[in-house]
Amino acid sequence: MSTPLNTVVALFGVTKEYAGGVRALDSVDLTVGAGELLGIVGPSGSGKSTLLHIVGTLDRPTAGTVTITGHEVASLNDRRLSALRSRHIGFVFQAFHLVPGVSAQDNVAEGLLYSGLPRARRRALAADALARVGLADRMKHRPHELSGGQKQRVAIARAVVGEPDLLLADEPTGALDSASGEAVMGLLHDLNAEGATIAVITHDTEIAAQLPRQVRLRDGRIVADNSLAGLEGAVC
């Protein structure tokens, strides 16, 4: 099946099975166009994390095809897959994953570690990314000197510093208070308005309701996708 040129993610018939016959994903079809902002939402055990790993090329499906920015994942060896991930996908996790004892600027610059750019250029781009997320005055601060919301902003800056085609945000507000969570979601909306393609993986229906597209998972299947008809409707 061919994929439109402006498609960032295309999954067709994707199934993922684990030992013991556990089927985490079951014949999933999903396309994400350039510039979209969507939520992938469902309860624990619905397949969200597995879908994140498949779309993020951290794992391969048991069956089906996965195409990211025009590259069919099955055709890539591990080295080329790592290069694809490094150049085209940014990740934001609930736990921030910042390096302790290292400044916000150097944490963000780490996102360009495999870019081939000299250190001075990486740090300059990191400073620009921190300014973009509203932390120009926190560049020298270490993680322990930052609030939870500020840590997540640093993590987002690190994810977008290389201008990836796709940003995957996994429960980005899960470790934050409500005010900080709202600020982070506002930032994701701002980045999307600037052209970023963003998928937010969440169990929180209130978070998902803020997004223009919601893809709902249950038992490894997509059961609703409001982009298909303008209204939420069953597609299973």
Cα-based distances in Å from 68 to 60, 65, 223, 230: 12, 10, 23, 25
> How many whole angstroms separate alpha carbon 72 and alpha carbon 53?
15
Range of the domain at 124: 7-225
CATH number at residue 162: 3.40.50.300
Look up the pTM and report it.
0.90
Residue pair 57/44 in contact (Cβ under 8 Å)? The answer is no
The answer to the question of residue 236 being in a domain is: no
pLDDT in tens, 177-229: 999 999 999 999 999 999 999 999 999 988 999 999 999 999 999 999 986 44
pLDDT in tens, 57-69: 999 999 999 999 9
The answer to the question of residue 51 being in a domain is: yes
The answer to the question of residue 86 being in a domain is: yes
The answer to the question of residue 205 being in a domain is: yes
**What is the three-class DSSP state of 136?**
helix
The total number of structural domains in the chain stands at 1
| Summary mean pLDDT of the chain | 91
The answer to the question of residue 2 being in a domain is: no
The answer to the question of residue 230 being in a domain is: no
Please identify every stretch of the chain with a pLDDT value under 70, giving residue numbers as ranges. Answer: 1-5, 227-236
**pLDDT at 5 (0 to 100):** 58
The answer to the question of residue 22 being in a domain is: yes
User: What is the DSSP pairing of strand 71-72 with strand 89-93?
Assistant: unpaired
The answer to the question of residue 170 being in a domain is: yes
Looking up tokens 């080295």 gives 79
